[in-house]
């Protein structure tokens, strides 16, 4: 990880970079780090040997493969690539670069629920259930007054106490209207992905007679792409 950070840091910012590796794990981590700036890079795989021949092929992320399959109307393959992208994103968010033992593997549904719990861990459950989920994000600022007239005119408060309450109100408003709203948005995104998991992201669910539809793959692609941005924001070179 230190090598990746060094290569993408200021030290080599003005250099053209040619990076060769046989370590696919290193390659995948590098690819993840530059995910949304990948158009600035050429990612290729070399296969074969000098004695026979060496072939060159483009290496794409699971999301890019899903989009390609979607454009080719191969909906089953697109769904499988979307599932891989979703699993990679959630696993990295939950574990970082930790190697997962086989006995620790969990289903995509459980990992999505785990990611949601991690996002909401600092928000009291009752606040989330009774206030946030029942109030439109644009209406949350209306729950806490933006002015301090009532505090300014309260003659029972001395000046230090009044100032302290004004600061606390501003902090509470900031928390409710910014931090909690962002967490709520991410949790809602995961709920939307969970809703389409059984239909689109579960290979067993579309291996039978029920066909997949272009629109539902397009919607799932948008959701998983947003999840990738939210949970593992890329570092740009």
Percent of the chain surpassing pLDDT 90: 19
Whether residue 208 is predicted with pLDDT greater than 70 in this model: the reply is no
Q: What is the pLDDT of residue 205?
A: 59
Average pLDDT over residues 155-163: 89
C-alpha distance from residue 122 to each of 112, 114, 131 (Å)? 17, 14, 15
Dist CA 190 CA 119 (whole Å): 10
Q: Which of 12-26, 72-86, 116-130 has the highest mean pLDDT?
A: 72-86
| Better pLDDT: 130 or 162 | 162
Whether pTM exceeds 0.75: no
The 10s digit of each residue's pLDDT in 76-123 is 899 999 999 999 889 888 887 555 555 566 788 999 999 999 988 877
Site of tokens 């780090």? 33
Question: Which tokens go with 68?
Answer: 């390609």
Handedness of CA 204, 208, 214, 215 (dihedral sign): negative
What residues have CB less than 8 Å from 223, skipping those under 6 apart? 189, 192, 193, 196
Percent of the chain surpassing pLDDT 70: 84
154: left (phi over 0), alpha (psi -120 to 50) or beta: beta
Q: Which helix (H) or strand (E) holds 127?
A: helix 125-127
The 10s digit of each residue's pLDDT in 175-201 is 776 777 788 888 889 999 999 888 888
Whether residue 69 is predicted with pLDDT greater than 80 in this model: the reply is yes
């Amino acid at each position: 990880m230190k090598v990746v950070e060094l290569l993408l840091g200021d030290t080599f910012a003005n250099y053209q970079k040619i990076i060769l590796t046989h370590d696919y794990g290193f390659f995948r981590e590098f690819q993840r780090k530059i995910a949304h700036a990948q158009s600035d890079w050429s990612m290729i795989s070399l296969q074969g040997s000098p004695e026979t021949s060496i072939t060159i092929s483009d290496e794409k992320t699971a999301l890019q493969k899903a989009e390609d399959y979607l454009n080719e109307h191969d909906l089953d393959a697109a769904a499988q690539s979307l599932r891989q992208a979703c699993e990679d994103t959630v696993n990295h968010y939950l574990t970082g670069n930790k190697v997962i033992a086989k006995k620790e593997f969990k289903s995509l549904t459980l990992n999505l629920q785990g990611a949601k719990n991690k996002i909401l861990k600092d928000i009291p459950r009752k606040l989330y259930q009774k206030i946030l989920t029942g109030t439109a994000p644009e209406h949350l600022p209306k729950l806490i007054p933006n002015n301090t007239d009532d505090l300014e005119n309260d003659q029972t408060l001395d000046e230090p106490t009044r100032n302290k309450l004004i600061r606390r109100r501003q902090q509470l408003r900031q928390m409710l209207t910014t931090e909690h709203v962002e967490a709520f948005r991410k949790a809602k995104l995961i709920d939307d992905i969970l809703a389409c998991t059984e239909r689109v992201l579960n290979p067993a669910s579309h291996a039978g007679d029920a066909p997949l539809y272009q629109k539902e793959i397009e919607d799932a692609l948008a959701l998983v792409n947003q999840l990738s941005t939210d949970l593992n924001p890329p570092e740009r070179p």
